[in-house]
């Protein structure tokens, strides 16, 4: 039985949308969309592609050939993903050209019993080549807390479980993908249940989507494993709801960008030789999805080792370390992340208060954005209160002043300020923020200098709102 296709993903000219439009129609509704007209000025669309739409593979070999990248063998399954091998970009291009040459000689679109079908994935191109501006992130996707944070900090407070992971592989979630016709990505939802956007520099992709309300239909009875390839002969006994699933589809053309909302499972096939730019990110609009995933994975990690609880000196600490390894962060990584963004948003509000009067009385579009961010963080902190009991090995004690004296925090504040100016097209403030300015911030008056728990964070945000409300009423 074939898949039940319920409709097509909407396609819109991105130049006709405002940021507010995108928030209301896609962020708040958590709906996918395909955007056109946003890639015309990208260097990648000129340098990486020939006039006939084919990828300029030799450019990558000659200019970036020494980069070591992860390459998926699309013909070989390994657990829930495709088998990965590491090779240089030069080696990858050589194999691609070799296979293409054989296809041309045989006159066939496929090579049977030949080399592996290789798909370069998750190449941290921006991190490796920051001086090469291949593209500009579209306005709708600029508010990228995940990558802003990783540009300045490590995600993991305790690096021990990650000693074997090099600096590049966990450094950001901005990727380049390259694959020949026939390469594909199995059915999955994105890391951290983040948003993602995927821009086709060249080629064509076919996407299948399953909404969060439908995704349970592609899992087994125990919700432990999902289907791998939706085009397989699916075992109805193992996946009894699969035939009921209603899918959305789209064919993504060259110079189109797909927005994938949080929690939407999807499978993607390259219909032509394709190069794409992919980002994963989250912010105040989808922070709750990240916490929901962490909480679910925490319970699974705890259940998995429950039988050693009575003999383990620090059972909770072990659960958190396993969560960090399996999910990419744990409760304490996430709490530290939220503290930094709370402080950064409060600093910007305080800056506006110092330079523009009471920000709540301002017409600035940045102010409600900052308030929304803090409300989102506060909501998650409230939900964390009932769950988080700091174990000995993961106790958190964050000194506000130590954070603010760090140059990385200054960089985080400045990039947020530039981002919200760019998003809302205000550019009214130069945001000449300096480390010394932080020490006398009004937002710290009457506050404890340390944040230990989610409850401390809630109180800190509440005190900020109370102070601003007092300004407004005065």
**Distance (Å, whole) CA 474 – CA 471:** 5
What are the residues whose beta carbons fall under 8 Å from the beta carbon of 158, sequence distance 6 or more? 321, 324, 332, 393, 394
Nearest Cα to Cα of residue 412 among 356, 338, 330, 354 = 338
Q: Strand 33-36 vs strand 11-13: parallel, antiparallel, or unpaired?
A: parallel
**Distance (Å, whole) CA 221 – CA 386:** 29
- The whole-number pLDDT of residue 168 equals 46
- The whole-number pLDDT of residue 473 equals 45
The domains found in the chain, sorted by start residue, are: 4-281 (2.60.120.650), 287-473 (no CATH)
pTM exceeding the 0.85 threshold for the entire prediction: yes
- The whole-number pLDDT of residue 249 equals 98
Tens of each residue's pLDDT in the chain, 474 residues = 689 999 999 999 999 999 999 999 999 999 999 999 999 999 999 999 999 999 999 999 999 999 999 999 999 999 999 999 999 999 999 999 998 877 655 554 443 445 679 999 999 999 999 999 999 999 999 999 999 999 999 998 755 544 444 454 458 999 999 999 999 999 999 999 999 999 999 999 999 999 999 999 999 999 999 999 999 999 999 999 999 999 999 999 999 999 999 999 999 999 999 999 999 999 999 999 999 999 999 999 999 999 999 999 999 999 999 999 999 999 999 999 999 999 999 999 888 877 766 666 667 889 999 999 999 999 999 999 888 665 554 567 788 888 988 999 999 999 999 999 999 987 555 566 665 555 556 556 556 678 889 999 999 999 988 887 765 544
What are the residues whose beta carbons fall under 8 Å from the beta carbon of 11, sequence distance 6 or more? 33, 34, 35, 36, 250, 256
Q: Strand 205-210 vs strand 174-179: parallel, antiparallel, or unpaired?
A: unpaired
- The whole-number pLDDT of residue 113 equals 46
Q: How large is the greatest C-alpha to C-alpha distance in the chain, in angstroms?
A: 80
């Amino acid at each position: 039985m074939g898949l039940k296709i319920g409709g097509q993903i909407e396609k819109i000219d991105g130049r006709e949308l405002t940021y507010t439009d995108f928030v209301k129609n896609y962020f708040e509704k958590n709906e996918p969309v395909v955007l056109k007209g946003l890639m015309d000025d990208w260097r990648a669309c000129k340098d990486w592609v020939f006039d006939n739409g084919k990828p300029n593979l030799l450019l990558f070999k000659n200019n970036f050939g020494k980069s070591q990248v992860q390459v998926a063998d699309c013909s070989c399954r390994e657990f829930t993903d495709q088998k990965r091998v590491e090779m240089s970009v030069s080696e990858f291009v050589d194999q691609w050209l070799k296979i293409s040459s054989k296809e041309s000689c045989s006159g066939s679109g496929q090579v049977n019993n030949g080399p592996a079908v290789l798909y370069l994935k998750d190449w941290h191109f921006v991190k490796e080549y920051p001086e090469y501006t291949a593209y500009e992130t579209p306005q709708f996707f600029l508010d990228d807390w995940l990558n802003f944070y990783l540009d300045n900090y490590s995600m993991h407070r305790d690096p021990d479980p990650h000693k074997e992971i090099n600096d590049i592989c966990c450094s950001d979630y901005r990727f380049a993908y390259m694959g020949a016709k026939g390469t594909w990505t199995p059915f999955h939802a994105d890391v951290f249940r983040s948003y993602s956007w995927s821009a086709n520099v060249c080629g064509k992709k076919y996407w299948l989507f399953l909404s969060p309300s439908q995704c349970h239909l592609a899992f087994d009875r125990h919700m432990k494993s999902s289907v791998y390839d939706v085009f397989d002969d699916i075992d109805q006994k193992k996946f009894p709801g699969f035939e009921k699933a209603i899918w959305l589809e789209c064919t993504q053309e060259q110079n189109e960008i797909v927005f994938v909302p949080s929690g939407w499972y999807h499978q993607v096939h390259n219909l032509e030789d394709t190069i794409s730019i992919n980002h994963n990110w989250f912010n105040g609009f989808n922070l709750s999805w990240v916490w929901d995933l962490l909480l679910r994975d925490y319970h699974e990690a705890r259940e998995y080792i429950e039988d050693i609880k009575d003999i383990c000196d620090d059972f909770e600490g072990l659960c958190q370390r396993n969560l960090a390894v399996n999910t990419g962060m744990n409760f304490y990584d996430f709490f530290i992340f939220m503290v930094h963004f709370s402080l950064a948003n409060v600093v910007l509000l305080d800056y506006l208060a110092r330079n523009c009067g009471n920000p709540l009385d301002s017409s600035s579009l940045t102010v409600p954005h900052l308030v929304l961010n803090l409300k989102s963080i506060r909501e998650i902190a409230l939900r964390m209160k009932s769950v988080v009991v700091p174990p000995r090995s993961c106790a958190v004690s964050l000194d506000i002043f130590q954070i603010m004296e760090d140059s990385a925090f200054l960089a985080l504040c400045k990039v947020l300020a530039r981002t919200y100016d760019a998003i809302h097209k205000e550019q009214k403030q130069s945001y000449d923020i300096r480390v010394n300015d932080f020490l006398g911030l009004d937002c710290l008056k009457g506050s404890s200098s340390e944040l230990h728990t989610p409850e401390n964070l809630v109180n800190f945000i509440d005190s900020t709102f109370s102070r601003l409300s007092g300004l407004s009423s005065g």
